[in-house]
Chains A and B, each alone.
Chain A
Amino acid sequence: DGGITQSPKYLFRKEGQNVTLSCEQNLNHDAMYWYRQDPGQGLRLIYYSQIVNDFQKGDIAEGYSVSREKKESFPLTVTSAQKNPTAFYLCASSLGLRGTVNQPQHFGDGTRLSIL
């Protein structure tokens, strides 16, 4: 079955440490997204990528970095510059520029990041 896989499900970060969250999709989607969700809140866009080797900052990119070397993969690194990283991180994908302007997004089951 096609879908999006995020790993790990739970992650703990020590002070001054960078951590990387994995996101893999086998939906043959061009576009991928990273969101942050805080308790009781909606989703805020961190980074998005429309196509391989290209990505753009979202609304809250500071303290985060991404890469898009393969179509299937869009890893997110939470750097030590992100002072409040505790949150639920969600990865999503959609058809991208090959599709219409009206596209649903498909989500993984998230990674919960906490500070040690």
Chain B
Amino acid sequence: SQQGEEDPQALSIQEGENATMNCSYKTSINNLQWYRQNSGRGLVHLILIRSNEREKHSGRLRVTLDTSKKSSSLLITASRAADTASYFCATDAGYGGATNKLIFGTGTLLAVQP
């Protein structure tokens, strides 16, 4: 079963605007990761946030984690047309970190209009 549920399923914005995607999960985690997938390509790791962290930044990306609400958000600031892709959250929930397996959510499809 899929652990993460992204919201919204699809998002369309104009270039320069900010994009926010949310992820909810069901069980306790060691870490939560965000990945990007361009159409027809593999996934690319964007950022990892540990369960004891609340916020993390990487360039134009900002990730927050609220373990009490079992949710995370990914903010992309000053979006560009090249940011058009699907974004997935993934957690190691339920595996206790012993296997390094991940459970992926259903993804948010982001379209950035030039």
Chain A interface (Cβ within 8 Å of chain B)? Answer: 4, 6, 31, 33, 35, 40-45, 48, 50, 56, 58-59, 90, 92, 94-97, 99, 101-110, 112
**For the complex, is B41 an interface residue (Cβ under 8 Å from A)?**
yes
Contact B42 A94 (CB under 8 A): no
Of A95, A104, A110, the residue contacting B33 (CB under 8 A) is A104
* Chain B interface helix/strand/loop/mixed: loop
Q: Which residue on chain B has the smallest CB distance to residue A96?
A: B100
Taken together as a complex, chains A and B put the C-alpha atoms of A108 and B44 apart, in Å, by 9
Taken together as a complex, chains A and B put the C-alpha atoms of A42 and B50 apart, in Å, by 22
Contact A42 B2 (CB under 8 A): yes
6 residue pairs bridging A and B, Cβ less than 8 Å apart: A42-B4, A42-B107, A102-B31, A107-B42, A109-B41, A110-B40
CB-CB under 8 A from A33, the residues of chain B are 101
Q: Which residue on chain B has the smallest CB distance to residue A30?
A: B100
Taken together as a complex, chains A and B put the C-alpha atoms of A22 and B27 apart, in Å, by 34
Given A101-B31, A104-B33, CB of A45 within 8 Å of CB of B101: yes
Contact A105 B99 (CB under 8 A): no
Contact A102 B30 (CB under 8 A): yes
Contact B102 A101 (CB under 8 A): no
For the complex formed, measure the closest distance between the CB of B48 and the CB atoms of chain A, giving whole angstroms: 6
For the complex formed, measure the closest distance between the CB of A53 and the CB atoms of chain B, giving whole angstroms: 17
Given A42-B2, A108-B42, A109-B42, CB of A101 within 8 Å of CB of B97: yes
CB-CB under 8 A from A59, the residues of chain B are 1
Taken together as a complex, chains A and B put the C-alpha atoms of A31 and B101 apart, in Å, by 9
For the complex formed, measure the closest distance between the CB of B13 and the CB atoms of chain A, giving whole angstroms: 20
Taken together as a complex, chains A and B put the C-alpha atoms of A33 and B43 apart, in Å, by 13
Contact B92 A101 (CB under 8 A): yes
Contact B42 A110 (CB under 8 A): yes
Contact A42 B104 (CB under 8 A): yes
Taken together as a complex, chains A and B put the C-alpha atoms of A50 and B100 apart, in Å, by 9
Of B1, B44, B98, the residue contacting A107 (CB under 8 A) is B44
Contacts A102-B97, A109-B41 given; 15 further ones with Cβ under 8 A? A4-B42, A31-B100, A41-B107, A42-B106, A44-B104, A50-B99, A92-B43, A99-B100, A101-B97, A102-B48, A105-B43, A106-B45, A107-B44, A108-B42, A109-B42
